[in-house]
Chain A
Amino acid sequence: MARKILIIIHGMGNHTEESFLNEFLTASNKALNRYRKYENTKFEDKVKVIPIAYDFIFEKIREEFRESAEPINKFLEIHPQIFASDSLIKKSINLQNYFGKNNFINTHVLDVLLYLTNVGEWVRSEVANKIAKAIEDNHKNSSINILCHSLGSAVLHDTLSKLMVNDAPDDVASLDPNVIKFNSIWTFSNVSKLMSSYSNQPHPYMSIVKPGDYGCTRFFFNIRHELDPFTRPKMFDPMISDNWVVPYVFNNRFISLITSKISQKNTHSLGGYIEDPEVSIPFFQFMFNFKETKKNIKSGNDKFKTYDDEYLKIQEKYKQIDEFSDLKDFLKLIKEFGETLFESEKEES
């Protein structure tokens, strides 16, 4: 039988195709091997996984910032009298220099900022190319599924909005939605609605990235953790009244999974999402027809370790997050979230 194809697209932070594939497979196999029948099964033997990475673009831009700022900085170290430290030029050079550095803010916050500039179109074009290549390489397989995480959900949404059209000029990349339909889209910690409000890309409730006859996918799964702070501002949470899709499709082709168990302090982590049985079981069922007895499912689920005492602490921290007034608040949140995680890691070590 043909294996389903699963394209995976990462979120913020440092990723390569290899590292993201490894992160995804580690979590998937950890979850799968909990169940008796699948103790020695590898997810990648059941599903063909194709990772798509775009972080190298952000890294390239940061490298450009760093490389062009370095000699200027050296010159200014030798000739500090040229500009006052509070001059606009000095600030600009300092900023460029700072962006080149490798820290949490630059590898996460800067990804978001850069995506909102012209760099975003390079990212979309690159991702479109890789999605099209995956279809070309697997054209005999009509079950192509896509999983994306965090910023990857905005990247995927914006890419498909531009790619899945049939009226593009002949020399512009497009895939006719009357020919190609993805089997399913899985969005984890979906930030596409939030990002579209700053990027001017199509609103996710109005685009072709939806399930059913008028969308580009047959099924759509949207998964978020109650305490994942990034999903809360401008939450992607379509209701039947939003007319996103017709009621039949909303009820039979769309699932919104909201998880609450805490297996790791980073409630935004893709691994944490996938390992949760509330996610892994429907995910495995859909991807490769996972079947197990009720008894074995229960004993497998019991192996999923959670830290309930963490729930209240994290809930307290993020309960004030509802709606942000601007992008600055959101970026501040990413920074604070990163700092909290580092603090926790320090405490633990």
Chain B
Amino acid sequence: MKKYYILLLLIYSGIASSQNDCFFENDQPSLFFHKTETVAINIAKYICQNNIETRGQNSQLNTNLIDYLNLLKITANVETQELKNTGIDVSSLLDSFINNFNSSNRTKWPSFSINNFLGKYILSIDYNTEESVSFIESDDDKCLTTDAYGVSCSDVLEDFVYAFNLYKTLILKKEASKAVENSKFNTEQWREYFTSTRSQTPFELTINSKLYRDTITSKHFVPPPPLQVIFLHPNLMMEYVNKADDGNQFKQSLAIEWVGVNMWNSKIPFGASIMTSYSDRSGVRDVGHGLLFHFNNKYSIGVTDHDGETGFSISVDILKIFQSAQSKKSWFEKFNKENQND
């Protein structure tokens, strides 16, 4: 016991100096369990400041930490003595808590919880569900009449749960922050895949999903596929055919990409597909077959054969390089008008 008093002294005096990542502001101090709260907060800081690995085997935890956790149990036991007078005994739950750290299994960091489950209060500790303590609603008022509390037992226990669980609050923060960071990166990749790369038609979305099905059913989150399969994809292009009649050489055309791929996420995004171009012009055949190349997920350049006459296509997006939005709009309107007049 003497050992624990020394530890208590150490822990009260603050185990280590403050570190920004391990800063803890207790903006909601416990009403009834000050000592439990203080020990819990200092354990939280100790784990954080010593960078103790929380994913692993219990055997990897250092003896100081085990001692501090024991101290938390003892302090909580002392501070909950008064509750015993109302018939609520948490000592077996505290035993379960510390026994959890004395095994060599994977480290579990249990929290206490108090809930009103269909009119029955259940105080329990994680990973030892069957050890829970329960009491009926009418017993909740027993703490109201005691000098120590003066509020309902469920309120007292909520306060206890809050104070005790603070021991792992910085572990929770660390776990969650890392998950936020990793999921943010993955989410941004998916967002980019669907919104900043070449658009996918419903057909393409179905095909790309089928091809990625095995990967996506992985038990972990996965990034988007590195390749976009192109299939039956319509594109509006501007196509130049030199041998077409005057005034019909540079015209809007519809390119259908039959099949192709786009490496959307490579250092220099690049793709290619087999395409057929359709336009309405005199002097050459309306239909031309050829290849379409994609760059940077935005720009496309194609070459087609119209019965021996070569056509060159550029995607409308390329115009963005040369034209302002307004001039592009008027340019489009002009072309649409011309096409309607044809």
Chain A residues with a Cβ under 8 A of chain B: 1-2, 57, 60-61, 64-65, 67-68, 71-72, 74-76, 78-79, 81-82, 88-89, 92-93, 95-96, 99, 114, 116-122, 124-126, 128-129, 132-133, 135-136, 139-143, 161-163, 165-166, 168-169, 171-176, 178-181, 183-184, 200-202, 212-213, 218-219, 248-249, 252-253, 255, 282, 285-286, 289-291
Question: Which residues of the partner chain B approach A76 to less than 8 Å between Cβ atoms?
Answer: 254
Given contacts A61-B194, A165-B220, A218-B115, contact A129 B107 (CB under 8 A): no
A-B contact pairs, 18 of them (CB 8 A): A1-B159, A72-B236, A74-B336, A92-B202, A95-B202, A99-B202, A118-B212, A125-B190, A126-B187, A139-B170, A141-B162, A162-B220, A166-B55, A172-B220, A174-B220, A218-B126, A219-B117, A286-B116
Question: Which residues of the partner chain A approach B225 to less than 8 Å between Cβ atoms?
Answer: 118
Question: Which residues of the partner chain B approach A114 to less than 8 Å between Cβ atoms?
Answer: 205
Check: B216 CB closer than 8 A to any chain A CB: yes
Interface string of B159-201 (1 = CB under 8 A from A): 1011001101111110111011011111100110111000111
Question: Which residues of the partner chain B approach A132 to less than 8 Å between Cβ atoms?
Answer: 176, 179-180, 183
Asked if residues B209 and A285 are in contact (CB atoms below 8 Å), the reply is: no
Asked if residues B234 and A172 are in contact (CB atoms below 8 Å), the reply is: no
Check: B128 CB closer than 8 A to any chain A CB: yes
Asked if residues B55 and A139 are in contact (CB atoms below 8 Å), the reply is: no
Find B186's partner among A68, A125, A255 (CB 8 Å cutoff).
A125
Cα separation A171 to B182 with both chains bound (whole Å)? 6
Question: Which residues of the partner chain B approach A218 to less than 8 Å between Cβ atoms?
Answer: 113, 115, 124, 126, 129
Find A118's partner among B108, B158, B208 (CB 8 Å cutoff).
B208
Given contacts A169-B220, A289-B154, contact A174 B179 (CB under 8 A): yes
The interface size of chain B toward A, counting residues with CB under 8 Å, comes to 87
Cα separation A218 to B126 with both chains bound (whole Å)? 8
Asked if residues A122 and B194 are in contact (CB atoms below 8 Å), the reply is: yes
Interface string of B8-39 (1 = CB under 8 A from A): 00000000000000000000100000000000
Cα separation A181 to B202 with both chains bound (whole Å)? 39
- 9 other A-B residue contacts (CB within 8 Å) besides A71-B316, A122-B191: A64-B194, A64-B199, A76-B254, A132-B183, A133-B180, A142-B168, A168-B220, A173-B186, A200-B213
Find A286's partner among B117, B158, B201, B203 (CB 8 Å cutoff).
B117
Asked if residues B340 and A75 are in contact (CB atoms below 8 Å), the reply is: no
Question: Which residues of the partner chain B approach A99 to less than 8 Å between Cβ atoms?
Answer: 202
Asked if residues A78 and B339 are in contact (CB atoms below 8 Å), the reply is: yes
Question: Which residues of the partner chain B approach A253 to less than 8 Å between Cβ atoms?
Answer: 117, 129
Check: B219 CB closer than 8 A to any chain A CB: yes
Question: Which residues of the partner chain A approach B55 to less than 8 Å between Cβ atoms?
Answer: 166, 176, 178-179
Question: Which residues of the partner chain B approach A93 to less than 8 Å between Cβ atoms?
Answer: 234
Check: B268 CB closer than 8 A to any chain A CB: no
B114 CB, min distance to chain A CBs, angstroms: 9
The residue in chain A whose Cβ has the minimal distance to the Cβ of B225 is A118
Question: Which residues of the partner chain A approach B173 to less than 8 Å between Cβ atoms?
Answer: 136, 139
Question: Which residues of the partner chain A approach B195 to less than 8 Å between Cβ atoms?
Answer: 60, 64
Check: B278 CB closer than 8 A to any chain A CB: yes
Question: Which residues of the partner chain A approach B74 to less than 8 Å between Cβ atoms?
Answer: none
Asked if residues B254 and A88 are in contact (CB atoms below 8 Å), the reply is: no
The residue in chain A whose Cβ has the minimal distance to the Cβ of B173 is A139
Cα separation A132 to B209 with both chains bound (whole Å)? 26
Asked if residues B232 and A88 are in contact (CB atoms below 8 Å), the reply is: yes
Check: B260 CB closer than 8 A to any chain A CB: no
Cα separation A181 to B216 with both chains bound (whole Å)? 25
Asked if residues A285 and B179 are in contact (CB atoms below 8 Å), the reply is: no
Asked if residues A255 and B206 are in contact (CB atoms below 8 Å), the reply is: no
Check: B331 CB closer than 8 A to any chain A CB: no
The residue in chain A whose Cβ has the minimal distance to the Cβ of B211 is A118
Question: Which residues of the partner chain B approach A121 to less than 8 Å between Cβ atoms?
Answer: 190, 216, 221-222, 224
Cα separation A2 to B177 with both chains bound (whole Å)? 22
B193 CB, min distance to chain A CBs, angstroms: 8
Q: Taking each of B115, B159, B184, B212, which has the highest tally of chain A beta carbons within 10 Å of its own beta carbon?
A: B115
Asked if residues B118 and A285 are in contact (CB atoms below 8 Å), the reply is: yes
Question: Which residues of the partner chain A approach B172 to less than 8 Å between Cβ atoms?
Answer: 135, 139, 142, 179-180
Asked if residues A178 and B107 are in contact (CB atoms below 8 Å), the reply is: yes
A103 CB, min distance to chain B CBs, angstroms: 16
Asked if residues B179 and A173 are in contact (CB atoms below 8 Å), the reply is: yes
Find A175's partner among B176, B190, B208, B209 (CB 8 Å cutoff).
B176
Cα separation A200 to B216 with both chains bound (whole Å)? 9
Question: Which residues of the partner chain A approach B111 to less than 8 Å between Cβ atoms?
Answer: 142, 181
Question: Which residues of the partner chain B approach A125 to less than 8 Å between Cβ atoms?
Answer: 183, 186-187, 190, 221
B59 CB, min distance to chain A CBs, angstroms: 15
Asked if residues A163 and B130 are in contact (CB atoms below 8 Å), the reply is: no
Question: Which residues of the partner chain A approach B112 to less than 8 Å between Cβ atoms?
Answer: 142
Asked if residues B232 and A89 are in contact (CB atoms below 8 Å), the reply is: yes
Asked if residues B194 and A163 are in contact (CB atoms below 8 Å), the reply is: no
The residue in chain B whose Cβ has the minimal distance to the Cβ of A208 is B219
Interface string of B25-65 (1 = CB under 8 A from A): 00010000000000000000000000000110000000000
Asked if residues A72 and B234 are in contact (CB atoms below 8 Å), the reply is: yes
Asked if residues A219 and B115 are in contact (CB atoms below 8 Å), the reply is: yes
Question: Which residues of the partner chain B approach A135 to less than 8 Å between Cβ atoms?
Answer: 172, 175-176, 179
The residue in chain B whose Cβ has the minimal distance to the Cβ of A132 is B179
The residue in chain A whose Cβ has the minimal distance to the Cβ of B340 is A78
Asked if residues B166 and A79 are in contact (CB atoms below 8 Å), the reply is: no
Find A249's partner among B107, B129, B218, B219 (CB 8 Å cutoff).
B129
The residue in chain A whose Cβ has the minimal distance to the Cβ of B232 is A92
Find A179's partner among B109, B216, B217, B232 (CB 8 Å cutoff).
B109
Asked if residues B116 and A289 are in contact (CB atoms below 8 Å), the reply is: yes
A15 CB, min distance to chain B CBs, angstroms: 18
Cα separation A95 to B127 with both chains bound (whole Å)? 51
The residue in chain A whose Cβ has the minimal distance to the Cβ of B165 is A142
Q: Taking each of A255, A289, A291, which has the highest tally of chain B beta carbons within 10 Å of its own beta carbon?
A: A289
